[in-house]
Amino acid sequence: MLFLSHIISLKTIKHRSRIWLSKGHIGRNAVFAAVQAIITAISIFTAYRILTAEVGLEGVGLWSLVVAGAFIARAVDVSGAGALARFVALPHKNGHFVLAADYIHTVIITIFAINLIMGSLLFFSSGYLVDHFIEGRYANDARLLVPYVILSAIGLAPLAVTLSSAVDGVQRADQRAIVFAISSLVLLLATYLLVPKMGLIGFGLAQIIQNLFVIVVIWIILYQHLPTIGFFPWRWRKVIFLETISFGLKLQAYSLASLLTEPLVKYFLSQWGGLAMVGLYEFASRLVIQARGVVVAGTQPLMAAASAIEETNGQQLENLLLKSVSFMIWASVVAMFASILAAPVLGLFLLNQINLQLIYIVSIFAFAFGVNMFSVPFHFIALGRGIIFWNLLAQIITALLVWIGGILLGAQYGVWGILGSLAIGIMLGGGITLFGNAYALEMMPVILRLRTPIIAGIASHLAICLMSASFAFFLTN
Tens-place pLDDT, residues 92-141: 777 778 888 888 889 899 888 988 988 898 898 888 888 888 887 888 88
Domain ranges, residue 33: 1-249
Mean of the per-residue pLDDT values of the chain:
82
316 occurs within a structural domain: yes
138 occurs within a structural domain: yes
pLDDT at position 78 is 60
456 occurs within a structural domain: yes
Which residue, of 206, 233, 249, is where some domain finishes?
A: 249
Q: Give Cα 36 distance to the centre of its chain.
A: 14
Q: Does 16 score more than 50 pLDDT?
A: no
177 occurs within a structural domain: yes
Domain count across the chain:
2
Do 342 and 459 lie in a common domain? yes
288 occurs within a structural domain: no
**Cα within 13 Å of Cα(288), Cβ side:** 27
pLDDT grade for 332, boundaries at 50, 70 and 90: very high
Do 127 and 225 lie in a common domain? yes
Cα separation of 344 and 385, whole Å? Answer: 42
319-328: average pLDDT:
88
Q: Does 19 score more than 50 pLDDT?
A: no
Query: What does pTM read for this prediction?
Result: 0.78
pLDDT grade for 388, boundaries at 50, 70 and 90: confident
Where is pLDDT greater, at 299 or 437?
Answer: 437
96 occurs within a structural domain: yes
- If 0-12 CB within 10 Å is exposed, 13-18 middle and 19+ buried, where does residue 48 land? buried
The C-alpha torsion from 300 through 422 and 461 to 448, rounded to 10°, is -60
Cα separation of 391 and 402, whole Å? Answer: 17
Task: Calculate what percentage of the chain has a pLDDT beyond 70.
Answer: 83
134: left (phi over 0), alpha (psi -120 to 50) or beta: beta
Please work out, in degrees rounded to the nearest 5, the angle formed at the alpha carbon of residue 392 by the alpha carbons of 386 and 395.
145
pLDDT grade for 18, boundaries at 50, 70 and 90: very low
9 occurs within a structural domain: yes
Do 46 and 147 lie in a common domain? yes
Q: Does 313 score more than 70 pLDDT?
A: no
Do 218 and 350 lie in a common domain? no
Q: Does 191 score more than 70 pLDDT?
A: yes
Which residue, of 249, 267, 288, is where some domain finishes?
A: 249
- If 0-12 CB within 10 Å is exposed, 13-18 middle and 19+ buried, where does residue 246 land? exposed
Do 141 and 17 lie in a common domain? yes
Cα separation of 450 and 443, whole Å? Answer: 12
Q: Does 31 score more than 50 pLDDT?
A: yes
Q: Find out whether 433 and 394 touch, Cβ atoms under 8 Å.
A: yes
pLDDT at position 5 is 34
Do 356 and 464 lie in a common domain? yes
Do 55 and 182 lie in a common domain? yes
318-337: average pLDDT:
89
pLDDT at position 250 is 63
54-83 CB burial, b ≥16 within 10 A, e <16: bbebbbbbbbbbbbbbbbbbbbbbbbbbbb
pLDDT grade for 195, boundaries at 50, 70 and 90: very high
Which residue, of 224, 249, 274, is where some domain finishes?
A: 249
Do 241 and 313 lie in a common domain? no
pLDDT at position 240 is 83
Do 357 and 239 lie in a common domain? no
pLDDT at position 295 is 84
Do 244 and 122 lie in a common domain? yes
Do 215 and 364 lie in a common domain? no
125 occurs within a structural domain: yes
pLDDT grade for 75, boundaries at 50, 70 and 90: low
Cα separation of 428 and 368, whole Å? Answer: 9
181-210: average pLDDT:
96
Do 37 and 174 lie in a common domain? yes
Where is pLDDT greater, at 130 or 259?
Answer: 130
